[in-house]
Amino acid sequence: MLREVVATRYIKPLHTGGSVPAVVEAGDLGTYVVKFTGSAQGRKALVAEVVVGELARELGLRVPELVLAHFDPAIATDEPHQEVRDLLNASAGLNLGMDYLSGGADFTPDVAKTFPVDAREAGRIVWLDALTANVDRTVHSSNLMVWPTFGTAPPRLWLIDHGAALVFHHRWDISAPQKAYDFRHHALGHYAPDVRAADAELAPKVTEELLRDVVARVPEAWLTCEAGFDTPDEVRAAYAGYLHARVRASRDWLPTDFPSREELAAENAARAARTQRGRPDWLKRVPDLHGKPPAEQDWSVHLG
């Protein structure tokens, strides 16, 4: 089971994601990023975090330690933003914390140009994402961090943010475990990920017993008993059963088509050109905030 900690000091919210997690200090003197039950994504995002994160750990991938964090909104009374206070007040009790990787850097496209990732590691990460239907690890939002290990060892990739995975559980679509997803724009696609080797290595390890053990780490309070399920145990069994069926169908969903950096750049350029052609003249003069940082925009053209 996951360790439990008590949040003792609220440090700051993180506005980089839609769930608005927060950095807190806990009674064990550890620092954690806490994702809250009161966020717009709800408890299912936390379920996905636990199931995918703990499965990744069992398969030997690097994931920050996950903990169950008891949170009292009273420690955050100095938070100045009303919408964040509302979120915190709606999240009293048990939430999910993950070890804060202090000094880590986001795996951005610029970092990716020079950071070495071998085909085997890339393949293992892509395979995990394909198994768990994690469509939120793209070249635009990698949900990967570069963080040093110990001593003089080189920095390594760490997997974070799996709340968007397990898309089947939002409507409990478990009828097609062989369903394939589009991973052409995966953050590690241009590293020639060896997903076939990953499948041969990892698929035999993802047993029904392992999946039951991983799903057992999800707090019962987060397992909503929806239509078709009478108890939290039935929900747990549904997660384990679906993922086990998906492992057995890996030949149907295994992603193998990954464009090169040059092909991605050409696709993006073509997409931008199509977008521009469909815009009215006045909108074409609006700065492309997605293409360049605001500091690099020529604002004089628009401000006169």
Give the residue extent of every domain in the chain.
3-99, 105-253
Walk along the chain (304 residues) and give the pLDDT tens digit of each residue: 899 999 999 999 997 767 899 999 999 999 999 999 999 889 999 999 999 999 999 999 999 999 999 999 999 999 999 999 999 999 999 999 999 999 899 999 888 888 999 999 999 999 999 999 999 999 889 999 999 765 567 889 999 999 999 999 998 888 899 999 999 999 999 899 999 999 999 999 999 999 999 999 999 999 977 778 899 999 999 999 999 999 999 999 999 988 877 877 787 778 778 777 766 766 555 554 444 444 433 333 333 3
Residues 229 and 235 sit within 8 Å (Cβ to Cβ) = yes
Residues 247 and 130 sit within 8 Å (Cβ to Cβ) = no
Residue 302: per-residue pLDDT: 30
CA distance 241 to 248: 11
Residue 294: per-residue pLDDT: 40
- Give pTM, 2 decimals: 0.86
Residue 285: per-residue pLDDT: 58
10 Å CB burial of residue 66 (0-12, 13-18, 19+) is buried
Residues 49 and 96 sit within 8 Å (Cβ to Cβ) = yes
Residues 140 and 129 sit within 8 Å (Cβ to Cβ) = no
Residue 48: per-residue pLDDT: 97
Who contacts 157 (Cβ-Cβ below 8 Å, separation ≥6)? 62, 107, 117, 121, 125, 144, 145, 146
Residues 155 and 146 sit within 8 Å (Cβ to Cβ) = yes
Residue 292: per-residue pLDDT: 42
Residue 265: per-residue pLDDT: 75
Residues 26 and 97 sit within 8 Å (Cβ to Cβ) = yes
Name the token pair of 224. Answer: 């909503």
**For tokens 């795996």, what's the residue?**
107
pLDDT in tens, 19-75: 899 999 999 999 999 999 999 889 999 999 999 999 999 999 999 999 999 999 999
Residue 113: per-residue pLDDT: 84
CA distance 78 to 62: 34
Residues 186 and 255 sit within 8 Å (Cβ to Cβ) = yes
Name the token pair of 47. Answer: 């379920």
Question: Helix, strand, or coil here: 183?
Answer: coil
Other CB atoms within 10 Å distance of the CB of residue 303: 6
Closest CA to 166 of 246, 220, 252: 246
Residue 226: per-residue pLDDT: 76
